Chains A and B, each alone.
Chain A
Amino acid sequence: MITPRENYIIAIHGGKPQWIPDFWEDTNMLPFNKYELKPIEDGLTQDFFGITYMGNMPVHSRRPWKEISDWRKYTFPDLTEIDWEAEEKYYKEIIDPTKLIRCDVGGHGLLLTLANALGFEDALVSLIEEDDEVLAFLRAYTDYMKECIHYAAKYIKPDEISICEDTSNARGPFLSKETYRKLFRPFMQELCDLAHSYNMAFNIHNCGDPQYLFEEYVEMGVNVVNACNYSKSLIEFRKKYGPVLCIEGGWDSQGPCAMHDAPEELVKQSVRDCYDRYAAIGGYVTLGNGIVVGPDPKAMKQKVTWCQEEANRIRFEYYGKKSPEELEMLSNYTNGVDFIWKIMMIE
């Protein structure tokens, strides 16, 4: 029997795996920002652009830049100062080789870094009014990210490079396709090509609905789109192109199952709905966290539990019957809700 890692790799390259991989259970998640964030007071952290974070969220009252050109005041981390041989040893110790190795590069990504530093409105306006300076920033940041990928490839050896690209909200794009093509696509293409040159898959994370860019992604050779809200056009896209872009998630983050008081059966139905919509043709990974938001951690964890219970009830035999021994082995690969919850809280 193949390992969850081998199974996952089939899915991210658009194939039909032996069972539906699980984003949380079947991966080693290795964020590169461990080299980029430094702790400051009160449990806050700060990145090298001066952006202050509480957990994963920027502290809006501490936006560091007044204008886009302020990025020039900051210095990218010097990756040559890191003891990479020691890091390699560390990763060898912590990585589970039976699970996919994913390396998240570039923190919050090109657009969201601008938004976190300047504020969302000023960042979006700068794309149009100060596009030359935006391009200079994107050039410099992409060059740094490429350096990160080189080091990751050499010392972490991931199966996949994941980059955040929040170009959309839940209802649609922040910017036009033309603006994306002019400003972001060339740089994302460079990052994608570099990942491929090391035989690593390229994963784009978008919290919103990036479907207006799917055809761009196909042209660029992107392998995976992560989180990815449900919409009818996503179904149409899969019908038209097949599993060429692997989908991780696809939940309806604005639907009834995302409500804070969504009952167990509705949450479990959302798992079945996603599998019915996307999984049959392959190129699909289960990831239900798009519906797990809210102020009450207990309720959130309950939703994760329901999602995982239903996912694990179905996903192992979705593409074919397994023997009791195989099912036991697959079950042994899972770490459980407490493990997932811990990662979600860190992420």
Chain B
Amino acid sequence: MSKLQELVHAIENGETKQAAGLVQEVLDEGVAPIDILNKGMIEAMAVVGEKFKNDEIFIAEMLVAARAMKRGVEILTPHLTGEGNISRGKVVMGTVSGDLHDIGKNLVTLMIESAGFEVVDLGVDVPAVKFVEAASDPEVNIVGVSSLLTTTMPAMKEIVAALNECSNRKNFKIMVGGAPITQEFCDKIGADIYTSDAGSAAEAAVAAV
């Protein structure tokens, strides 16, 4: 097994310490940093996302994989200078006003970051005006809106309506998700993308840009 394959294995299995060490070892072997990121780490997280989608792993296992990825990226980042813009795009994420739940939003954030995006995390209990303000950044490709509660779905509708009024609306996609959200609800409120889990959200983000 090559060191790059070992790195992939370490990330898939959430071995944070090993992942960090292996990034350095793969660099020492002379593998291009951008290849370590794209062919090793991002692909590893795509496998993790797929396993999550297929109920082979669950939130705890996905979180440790994402943390291993994050630690590996920290080691890799200084070596990526000069490789050009390595970000796939910029994503704004937040949980709607009235809703204090963050685990779903954080999971999607981790997976989207792991897929190579820069994420601006607005946090929880975010009003429409904050989403609109963040979406005005011309570099934003996707605005992700999360709601865990059935009772905060109306807030999601209001936020999507406000985003749909943005003058730069054609520049970004609106992604929605959360336990009570469905494709039907996504269509009804005028959002662009609905996914049922964090792995699918990362896939959809890649496809959307």
Which residues of chain A have a CB within 8 Å of any CB of chain B? Answer: 60, 120-121, 124-125, 127-129, 169-176, 179, 253-254, 258-260, 293-295
Residues of B close to A170: CB separation below 8 A: 179-180
The reply to whether A60 and B60 form a contact with Cβ atoms under 8 Å apart is no
The residue from A124, A172, A176, A294 contacting B63, defined by CB atoms under 8 A apart? A124
The reply to whether A260 and B59 form a contact with Cβ atoms under 8 Å apart is no
Give chain B interface residues in 69-123, CB to chain A under 8 Å: 98, 100, 103, 106
Minimum CB–CB distance for A183 against chain B, Å: 10
Known: A175-B60, A179-B60, A294-B149; 9 extra A-B contacts, CB below 8 A, are A121-B63, A121-B103, A128-B61, A175-B61, A176-B57, A176-B61, A254-B150, A260-B151, A294-B150
Minimum CB–CB distance for A112 against chain B, Å: 13
Residues of B close to A171: CB separation below 8 A: 179, 196-197
Least CB separation from A127: chain B residue: B60
Minimum CB–CB distance for A247 against chain B, Å: 20
The reply to whether B180 and A125 form a contact with Cβ atoms under 8 Å apart is no
Minimum CB–CB distance for B48 against chain A, Å: 13
A259 to B150, CA, bound (A): 5
The reply to whether B59 and A175 form a contact with Cβ atoms under 8 Å apart is yes
A127 to B154, CA, bound (A): 35
**B contacts with A, residue count (CB < 8 A):** 24
Least CB separation from A259: chain B residue: B150
The reply to whether A258 and B59 form a contact with Cβ atoms under 8 Å apart is no
The reply to whether A172 and B64 form a contact with Cβ atoms under 8 Å apart is no
The residue from B14, B63, B64, B179 contacting A169, defined by CB atoms under 8 A apart? B179
A294 to B150, CA, bound (A): 8
Minimum CB–CB distance for A184 against chain B, Å: 12
A293 to B196, CA, bound (A): 22
Residue picked from B55, B59, B61, B106, most chain A C-beta under 10 Å: B59
Pairs across A and B, CB under 8 Å, 8 listed: A121-B103, A124-B63, A128-B64, A170-B180, A175-B60, A254-B150, A254-B179, A258-B180
The residue from B58, B180, B196 contacting A175, defined by CB atoms under 8 A apart? B58
Residues of A close to B197: CB separation below 8 A: 171
Minimum CB–CB distance for B152 against chain A, Å: 8
B153 is an interface residue with CB less than 8 A from chain A: yes
Least CB separation from B55: chain A residue: A172
Minimum CB–CB distance for B41 against chain A, Å: 18
B3 is an interface residue with CB less than 8 A from chain A: no
A253 to B150, CA, bound (A): 8
Minimum CB–CB distance for B90 against chain A, Å: 23
The reply to whether A295 and B103 form a contact with Cβ atoms under 8 Å apart is no
A174 to B16, CA, bound (A): 20
The reply to whether A129 and B16 form a contact with Cβ atoms under 8 Å apart is yes
Q: A129-B16, A170-B179, A295-B98 are in contact. Are A124 and B149 (CB under 8 A)?
A: no
The 9 closest A-B pairs by CB, nearest first: A294-B151, A124-B60, A175-B60, A260-B151, A258-B150, A170-B179, A254-B180, A173-B58, A174-B59
B67 is an interface residue with CB less than 8 A from chain A: yes
A173 to B56, CA, bound (A): 11
Minimum CB–CB distance for A142 against chain B, Å: 20
